Amino acid sequence: MKIHFLPAFHGDAIWLNYNDSNGIPRNILIDGGPAETYSEKDKKGKIEFGILSDTINSIRDNEQRIDLLILTHVDDDHINGLMHWINDDVHATSLIDRIWFNSGKLIFEHFNVSDIIENHIALSVGESTDTSIKDGVTFENLIKNKGIWEYKIIKQGQSIELLDLKFRILSPDEDGLRELLHKWEKKEPESLTAASKDYKKTITELLTSDVYAKDPSIHNGSSIAFIITYNGKDMLFLADAHPEKIVEGLKHFEFTKDNPLVCEFVKISHHGSKYNTSYKLLELIESPTYVISSNGSKRSPYKQCLARIIDSKKDLSLFFNYPELAKDIFLNEDFENYPDLKILPVDYEFRIA
Ligand SMILES: [Zn+2]
């Protein structure tokens, strides 16, 4: 299996490609980054297609399918690239076989509460000039009508065998879903937007009286996070999930401090935010490699988050899907104090045999 952490700006877009036991090539897409991951206009107004578009085209050109599309949660930096594709390409949904998505509609139904239509994701499929087609098209209705949405809540404790893989779902739990039972706000909590970068401090300085504080984002708390097992090897994908929920989820699957999850790599939660990696979580994981998906344009990654991981694990590799970030973040003193810290190169390939 090859795992690609696509450079999706400040968001996530992860592509898994492998052959199943019958030799059939399979593709799983976890999120699709912000809109520009699919396409953006250059200064002259010309459309330039991005890495998500290239990935989709290569799957299509090889006559393969997107066997499973997972939308971890509704934030722009995870779903807008995909919505951009679906708006742009009328054939988009015919390439997809199956979608996991805890949409507002599904969550409200799950709790038997009447739905709030503003929470649905509006589309303008094919940029149609016929407004009767354009109006009222939602992503939820489109994928339901196409029969590609599994239309079941994905939540903590589920163990799902699919496409020769095993998924163990760690987040969200019922409480994380229940918190979404209102009209959704687009704005992130103040406490998350005010911070400045902490890259001038050494790891040692950042760890002095370091105290973990919780992520207040309700949307992040609804993130679908999971362990994927392929050929007996585990990989941990944490979306933007809350560490408290991941800890609960790992404990549910009987991982403890003395019996931690041993995995090939961890996709660190929320682009390396310090609000999404706690010491309690790190105790339950044993992995040689940690992945940070961010171009550094927003607040993340926080060096404080990386400092926690580095100090807890000592001998480890970090992979940045924008590797030039490492030069901004780490000081010579950091490498002197942590000689076993390695930064993986830009062309590093994640492969699981
Ligand atoms: Zn995110």
Confidence of residue 133 (pLDDT cuts 50, 70, 90): very low
Confidence of residue 37 (pLDDT cuts 50, 70, 90): very high
What is the H or E stretch that residue 27 is in?
strand 25-30
Look at residue 192 in the predicted model and tell me its pLDDT: 53
Which residues have CB atoms below 5 A from the ion given as ligand 1? 77, 240
Q: What is the DSSP string of 264-286?
A: S-EE-GGGG-TTS--HHHHTTEE
Confidence of residue 136 (pLDDT cuts 50, 70, 90): low
From ligand 1's centre to the CA of 73, what distance in Å? 9
Mean pLDDT of the chain: 93
Q: Are 105 and 115 in contact (CB under 8 A)?
A: yes
Confidence check: pLDDT of 62 > 50 = yes
CA 310 to CA 45: how far, in whole Å? 44
Confidence of residue 7 (pLDDT cuts 50, 70, 90): very high
From ligand 1's centre to the CA of 135, what distance in Å? 28
From ligand 1's centre to the CA of 327, what distance in Å? 22
Look at residue 55 in the predicted model and tell me its pLDDT: 98
pLDDT digits (tens, 9 = 90+) for 289-322: 999 999 998 889 999 999 999 999 989 999 999 9
Look at residue 195 in the predicted model and tell me its pLDDT: 59
From ligand 1's centre to the CA of 198, what distance in Å? 19
CA 290 to CA 3: how far, in whole Å? 13
CA 33 to CA 319: how far, in whole Å? 18
Q: What percent of the chain has pLDDT over 70?
A: 94
Look at residue 132 in the predicted model and tell me its pLDDT: 46
pLDDT digits (tens, 9 = 90+) for 137-190: 889 999 999 999 999 999 999 999 999 999 999 999 999 999 999 998 876 655
Q: What percent of the chain has pLDDT over 90?
A: 84
From ligand 1's centre to the CA of 337, what distance in Å? 31
From ligand 1's centre to the CA of 316, what distance in Å? 24
From ligand 1's centre to the CA of 219, what distance in Å? 10
Confidence of residue 226 (pLDDT cuts 50, 70, 90): very high
From ligand 1's centre to the CA of 257, what distance in Å? 28
